[in-house]
Amino acid sequence: MSAYFDYNATTPLNPAAREAWLKASEKHWYNPSSLYREAGMTSQVLESARERLADLLGAEPERVIFTSGATESNNTLFAGLSRCLPPDGCVAISTIEHPCVREAARAWLGRGRVIEIPVDTQGVVQPATLKQILEVNKPALVSIMAANNESGVLQPWQEHLQLCRSQGVRFHTDAAQWIGKLESTALGSCDYVTGSAHKFGGSKGVGFLIAADADEAFPLLHGGPQEQNRRAGTENYPGIEAMVAALESVTPMLTEVAVNQAAMRDRFIHEMQVRFAGLRVIGERAPRLWNTVLMVMPQHDNLKWLTRLTRLGFAISTGSACSTGKEGSSVVVQALGASWEELRRVVRVSGGLQTTEQEWQDLAAAFVEAGQTLDAGGRPGI
Ligand code: PLP
């Protein structure tokens, strides 16, 4: 493959994470809940990983619950809420949440208790919109993602948090796409935060939920008393150690990367707009992640673009990896009121920390080449 442009779906393992995983697996493979000395040492290094992660996120270590990833973290949150929400209580989530927020909220609480907060034409939840929902619907919890997985649009979550605070409402942010791409030390001020290791160079199947209180109950998994009775099951210490190592290794470079990569991405967008009249970039006027471009191509089905680009050696996506193949591949473009016909032309590219100018420019050239083949009729199904 010439270049990978699907970093929002998943990332390759960071070398520091790989090293940390190997060391942890060789040296600390014991069960941290067992009682002999070696297990006690595993428990100690696990707690140290918790402290380091809490530090990176500006949270208290007792609030960190290790999970198998963002999907589990979000289900954990709503499973917990399902126990304490009064029968007439509700939660408010944005219309552009990842399915593991939207579907988890509906499944655990019932569809009728999940209110949707609309986004503006750029895909942003305007604070004024949230304020109105807080006043009218009085939700017990608001959940708005920090950065969108499809469009990369950033939400003003600090403002959302302040508004919720002023009304005594708890605030959750799914920060799976923010963490590892942007400075994250302020996230711990939210009541609940979701993160996932494989989005920032850790291994798959590891993540966390930052909880509001250290002693909250989360009855998602029934079993042992691990994670202070909040998440049953033996902790994946090597995976956790690798996740923390990955975040420690990328955090110092994020400010510089954000500036350089955003410039490369913008030059790619410019080139695409020059080459493809009518191409629309979703959320173009909103603050966005430095790595993501969600485009509605002027012509041709997204699967045709994807297949052509794959043949040219580029991995791209048709929106979110989680909704690929399902009707309406882009939740975001749907939320913006696009037609079915437009939805079929949505393509997402997402670069990484080390994507080069050459790769961005080669990608634009590959789109041009693919477009010429498709315009010429291409071979069907290829
Ligand atoms: N939330 C967001 C915003 C995501 O982008 C993803 C991944 O696609 C998830 C949640 C699910 O993450 P995981 O694969 O760790 O369950």
Q: How far is the CA of 354 from the centre of ligand 1 (A)?
A: 21
Q: Which of 76, 100, 330 to mutate to test the pocket of ligand 1 (most atoms within 8 A of CB)?
A: 100
Of the ranges 216-225, 240-249, 344-353, which one carries the lowest mean pLDDT score? 216-225
pLDDT given for residue 341 in this prediction = 87
Q: How far is the CA of 368 from the centre of ligand 1 (A)?
A: 31
pLDDT given for residue 217 in this prediction = 86
Report, as an integer, the average pLDDT of 130-144: 98
Residue 100 designated active-site: no
pLDDT given for residue 163 in this prediction = 98
Of the ranges 7-21, 43-57, 313-327, which one carries the lowest mean pLDDT score? 313-327
Place 372 in a pLDDT band, splitting at 50, 70 and 90: very high
What is the atom index within ligand 1 of the atom nearest the CA of 69?
A: 15
* pLDDT, tens only, 84-122: 999 999 999 999 999 999 999 999 999 999 999 999 999
Per the prediction, the chain carries an average pLDDT of: 94
* pLDDT, tens only, 158-209: 999 999 999 999 999 999 999 999 999 999 999 999 999 999 999 999 999 9
Report, as an integer, the average pLDDT of 124-133: 98
More confident residue, 327 or 29: 29
Q: How far is the CA of 48 from the centre of ligand 1 (A)?
A: 25
What is the atom index within ligand 1 of the atom nearest the CA of 148?
A: 3
3-class SS letters over the chain: CCEECECCCCCCCCHHHHHHHHHHHHHCCCCCCCCCHHHHHHHHHHHHHHHHHHHHHCCCHHHEEEECCHHHHHHHHHHHHHHHCCCCCCEEEECCCCHHHHHHHHHHHCHHHEEEECCCCCCCCCHHHHHHHHHHHCCCEEECCCECCCCCEECCHHHHHHHHHHCCCEEEEECCCCECCECCCCHHHCCEEEEEHHHCCCCCCCEEEECCCCCCCCCCCCCCCHHHHCCCCCCCHHHHHHHHHHHHHHHHHHHHHHHHHHHHHHHHHHHHHHHCCCCEECCCCCCECCCEEEEECCCCCHHHHHHHHHHCCEECECCCHHHCCCCCCCHHHHHCCCCHHHHCCEEEEECCCCCCHHHHHHHHHHHHHHHHHHHCCCCCCC
pLDDT given for residue 1 in this prediction = 63
pLDDT given for residue 219 in this prediction = 85
Reply yes or no on whether the pLDDT at 6 is more than 80.
Answer: yes
Reply yes or no on whether the pLDDT at 323 is more than 60.
Answer: no
Q: How far is the CA of 278 from the centre of ligand 1 (A)?
A: 31
Place 322 in a pLDDT band, splitting at 50, 70 and 90: low
More confident residue, 374 or 333: 374
Residue whose CA is at the smallest distance from ligand 1 atom 7:
9
